[in-house]
Structure 1
Amino acid sequence: MQGPEDGRSARKRKAIMEAATELFLCKGYPGTSMDEIAATAAVSKQTVYKQFADKETLFGAIIANASVKVGPFVEVVDALRDTENLDRDLAALARHYIATVIQPRGLQLRRLLIAEAGRFPEVAADYYERAPERTIAALAACFEHLAARGLLTLDDPLLAARHFAWLILAVPMDHAMFYARDDIRPLAELERLADEGARVFLAAYARR
């Protein structure tokens, strides 16, 4: 059971991570100091160092926290295994996928991580395994199951998963990586891209 002190510590940790995230996104990692993070979080510098040994550790914690958000989507992917209407449910999954990934804050963090990958290769690699690759693995396992049910025809589930992912995400992701204004495309356009991506995937892989 969490006591009052534990609760205060958790709130301070959250405030520090939120403040650091905003500053890293606004000023970049090199341009942000622990003093600024403490001031923005309204805590002492000593409190920041009590929670995080250094700025590098804090950055890693922020990226690791972002990867946790993949979990709910993986559950949605797993639910597709029991579909009774693959055309409908795959399109719904595609829409959920694009809406989950193409979000301003997530895209900002992705750009930040890519910019700092040379400084933090292990953090970047860990995020890649925990987020994009975990999603691909879940899709591959699902598609393999659907093939066993006779709904898909495929020899390489992992390659099929990568095809699906990039049919859905390539256009908006490529655009987002080069436009820092985060002018996310309208929902109707994202849904059209998702629907068409799912349709093309099924044209290639569905057993008819």
Structure 2
Amino acid sequence: MKRISAEDKRLKILSVATDYFLNCGYDGCTLDQVAAGAKVGKQAIYEFFENKEELYSEVVRSNIVVQPLDDLPSDQPVHQVISDYILKMIHQNAGLPVYGMMRTNILAYRRLPALADSLHQSRRNGARPLQVYLEALQDQGKIDLHAMDPLNVATRIAGVATQGTRAYMGFGWPDDDRRRDNAQWSTKLVLEGCDCHQEPIAQAKNVGDHLRSGERPPSMRLAKDRFDELCSTALLLFFEHGFDGMSIDHLVELTGVSRATIYRNFHDKDGFFRFVVEREVKRSSQSPLESGRGDGFEHGLQLLARQLMDGHAQDHNLAMYRLLIEEADRVPDLARAFYDGQIDRVIPPLTAIYQQYLGHPPCEKCVVAFHTLATFGVRFLTSAAPLSVDEKIKLSRETAKIMTLPLLRSH
């Protein structure tokens, strides 16, 4: 029998571990499963990897690292060059295993913040050829970056095209035609701006109106304050442990509400989970934003962008995103409703700013683009590095500039 080399054994372990992490997540994958799948003893894993975290880190690094695409051609129309490049980036990010490992990394970032930060930088590095191209265009006098960070501009064009977290929130990736349209439109927005009169005007989906009230079930005998405490405590436990890891017994211990009361009113854990999450989706979708009109169009957008960023980056909000990304297969309708609800909240204040300074409302695409730019896509979900006040001001100012100041110079 041919002897398997150490490197082949290591690669086999990595291959099997990749499948398990993709299909079961970090918590659902055990080293016993990996050993059995790779047909090696568990001790063999420890010959190459110190522990599960190191194995996971190696799996993610070997699968999720986004290689920079080829340099951009200089002899083709600018719109075509940029939109083609963005389309390639979308295809790369949507394909397995990058998409699956990105999702897994979003969920496991708390355990491995250093890994999350390095992967965040790796994804940014994937846009460096576009950064170099934009800098060359500026040197040639063809575009004006308006003192913005060219790498930020490059990554944010792609972010607008992918609509940030949308693909992870029960929607999945769009088909090829939609990807192409998104790449072309995001390129046009940044280079020329958007003529909202030619696009459908933004209309709220009124997510909260379609959800249950979140009030106590008629049969629930708990007083309102105890019922609110029960739901709030349960949500925090779901945030911390996910659906599978959350213990009803632990909830009973913390709140003093009996298991019988919970199951009598919600039938089972699934029913209770859906109620608690739906209640939070409705609450968050109906939390209003201030108009932030400011001193002029650009300044008004900057103030609103900063308000959105601050709210998005709160631990509670990010925990909700992670929970729904993790459980998108279980409650895809609620994951989509949460995403749509965040977009809905932007429409009134953004419309007020557009109406005051431009005399017309924004189109649907501009609302989604503004939300994606203001929240910086998946950045806060994949990187534990905090932003300083100055950095938040800078990013909010860039959001406003991208929405108001076309890069392409008119000749």
TM-score category of the 2 structures, normalised to the smaller one: 0.7 to 0.9
Which of 378, 384, 387 is matched with 1:185 structurally? 387
Tell me the CA shift for residue 144 of structure 1: 5.7
Structure 1 partner of 2:305: 94
Tell me the CA shift for residue 98 of structure 1: 0.7
1:46 and 2:248 are equivalent in the alignment? no
- SS of alignment partner, residue 244 of structure 2: coil
Alignment of 1:1-208 (within 5 A): 9-67=223-281, 68-74=283-289, 76-77=290-291, 80=293, 85-129=296-340, 131-138=341-348, 141-142=351-352, 145-146=355-356, 149=359, 157-170=363-376, 173-179=377-383, 183-204=385-406
Structure 1 partner of 2:48: none
- SS of alignment partner, residue 267 of structure 2: coil
One-letter amino acid of the structure 2 residue matched with residue 161 of structure 1: V
CA deviation map 1:54-91 (0-9, x unaligned): 322332233333332343434x24x74xx662232221
One-letter amino acid of the structure 1 residue matched with residue 286 of structure 2: G
Moved more, 63-72 or 116-125: 63-72
One-letter amino acid of the structure 2 residue matched with residue 178 of structure 1: T
Tell me the CA shift for residue 38 of structure 1: 1.5
Instruction: Give the superposed CA RMSD.
Output: 3.0
Distance 1:164 1:54 in 2: 40
Change (3 A) 1:185 1:66: farther
Tell me the CA shift for residue 141 of structure 1: 4.1
One-letter amino acid of the structure 2 residue matched with residue 115 of structure 1: E
Tell me the CA shift for residue 120 of structure 1: 1.3
One-letter amino acid of the structure 2 residue matched with residue 33 of structure 1: S
- Normalising by structure 1, we get a TM-score of 0.74
> Are the equivalent residues in 1 in contact too, given 2:287–2:345 (CA < 8 A)?
no
Change (3 A) 1:186 1:70: farther
Tell me the CA shift for residue 118 of structure 1: 0.4
Distance 2:385 2:264 in 1: 38
> Are the equivalent residues in 2 in contact too, given 1:140–1:158 (CA < 8 A)?
no
Q: Structure 2 regions of 5+ residues with no counterpart?
A: 1-219
CA deviation map 1:167-189 (0-9, x unaligned): 2222xx4232224xx55423332
Count of aligned positions: 187
Distance 1:183 1:105 in 2: 17
- SS of alignment partner, residue 276 of structure 2: helix
Tell me the CA shift for residue 53 of structure 1: 3.4
Tell me the CA shift for residue 8 of structure 1: 5.4
One-letter amino acid of the structure 2 residue matched with residue 162 of structure 1: V
**What fraction of aligned residue pairs are identical, expressed as a percent?**
20
One-letter amino acid of the structure 1 residue matched with residue 260 of structure 2: Q
Distance 1:93 1:136 in 2: 9
Q: Structure 1 regions of 5+ residues with no counterpart?
A: 1-5
> Are the equivalent residues in 2 in contact too, given 1:164–1:201 (CA < 8 A)?
yes
Distance 1:89 1:42 in 2: 48
Greater fraction of residues in helix: 1
Structure 1 partner of 2:116: none
Change (3 A) 1:41 1:140: same
